[in-house]
Amino acid sequence: MSNAREIKLRIKGINETKKITKAMKLISASKLKKAKQMHEATMPFFRRVQDIMTDILAHLPDIESVYFRKAEDKLDKKSGYIVVASDKGLNGGYNHNIIKLANSVIKKENSVVFPVGNVVLNQMIKQGYNTVTDFGYDGEINDIAVAQSVADHLIDLFKAGEIDELYLIFTEMESAISLKPRIMKLLPLEKTDVINPEKEIDRFMKLSLEPTPEEVFDVLASKFVKGILYSGFIEAYVSEHSARMNAMDNATSNAEKIVNKLTLNYNRARQAAITQEISEIVGGAASV
């Protein structure tokens, strides 16, 4: 009967683990839903900013801005990379895939990494990348104030010429089961990226921009970059919890399969023990 007892203890342990994985799945599902709601609530503002920038570029196509500055002729051009992973594991290949993409595109020479998440931070330091930890990020990836703080810091570095290009490496959720790591250029801006193709242009509208069109455009461009960064942060946050939700769902399903198999083994072991006891009783009675 000892074998049956061991199986019973294993079943109990796996059932306890199953409760944890199921709870983690529900928590991730709740956070995912909340993040989507926050994103939907803030995006209308940034879309409006883009619409105004579209109007400005339509009427002033030759406008100059530091946000359009390119360093094509600069020999030691320096690139910055915001790499977004997570602080924790148990999310399938989410962290591995983003670090793999980062390793494939980031050159250690003339590059600086701004890591978001402890996993990517530890990996970038371990692999010898030029890593900066103090850039306005405080561990709250789904907070719009944090995205604004990060954007302000990195825009200042771009304006000062300390970085010439800025990229965001994050995970995009194409569907509930398809997560795709991608890289997106944040700075310098391209006029084609700023223009909203769905915006109807009123060619007869008169623009009055004070103090100057360039200053107004720079303020809007700053908010536009913050909007893109925040959108990328939320996309990564949603992808992380989607990956964890799927991983915990698979773990729960696997636990149920193991429990079913162990239950069958337990019943067989118990039946074998009962049969053996009956045989011993019958044999003992026959010998009397």
**Ranges assigned E (strand) in 131-286:** 165-173, 179-187
130-134, 232-236, 284-288: least confidently modelled range: 284-288
Determine the residue type at 29.
A
What share of the chain in percent tops pLDDT 90?
Answer: 39
53-57, 103-107, 135-139, 164-168: least confidently modelled range: 53-57
Distance CA 2, CA 22 (A): 30
| Mean pLDDT value across residues 132-146 | 89
Q: List the end-to-end C-alpha distance of the chain, in Å, as a whole number.
A: 26
Residue 20 has pLDDT above 80, yes or no: yes
Residue 254 has pLDDT above 50, yes or no: yes
State the pLDDT at residue 229.
92
State the pLDDT at residue 207.
66
| Mean pLDDT value across residues 203-223 | 81
Please provide the size of the chain in residues. Answer: 288
Compute φ and ψ for 44, nearest 5 degrees. -55, -35
Query: Is the CB of residue 99 less than 8 Å from the CB of residue 129?
Result: no
Residue 274 has pLDDT above 90, yes or no: no
State the pLDDT at residue 1.
46
Determine the residue type at 252.
T
Residue 286: pLDDT band (50, 70, 90) is: low
Q: Is the peptide bond before 44 cis (omega within 30 degrees of 0)?
A: no
40-54, 73-87, 205-219, 274-288: least confidently modelled range: 274-288
β-strands 79-84, 179-187 pairing: unpaired
Residue 151 has pLDDT above 80, yes or no: yes
Q: Which residues pair with 82 in a beta bridge?
A: 114, 168
Residue 155: pLDDT band (50, 70, 90) is: very high
Structure tokens given for 30:
């709740």
pLDDT, tens digit, for every residue of 167-182?
A: 999 998 887 778 899 9
| Mean pLDDT value across residues 7-12 | 89
| Average pLDDT of the chain to the nearest whole number | 86
**Ranges assigned E (strand) in 155-260:** 165-173, 179-187
Residue 205: pLDDT band (50, 70, 90) is: low
| Mean pLDDT value across residues 64-85 | 88
Residue 98 has pLDDT above 80, yes or no: yes
Residue 58: pLDDT band (50, 70, 90) is: confident
Residue 275 has pLDDT above 70, yes or no: yes
Cβ neighbours for 191, distance < 8 A, ≥ 6 positions apart: 57, 61, 68
Residue 2 has pLDDT above 60, yes or no: no
State the pLDDT at residue 202.
66
More reliable by pLDDT, 283 or 28: 28
Query: Is the CB of residue 78 less than 8 Å from the CB of residue 162?
Result: yes
Structural domains of the chain ordered from first start: 23-247 (3.40.1380.10)
Q: Which helix (H) or strand (E) segment is 80 a member of?
A: strand 79-84
State the pLDDT at residue 204.
64
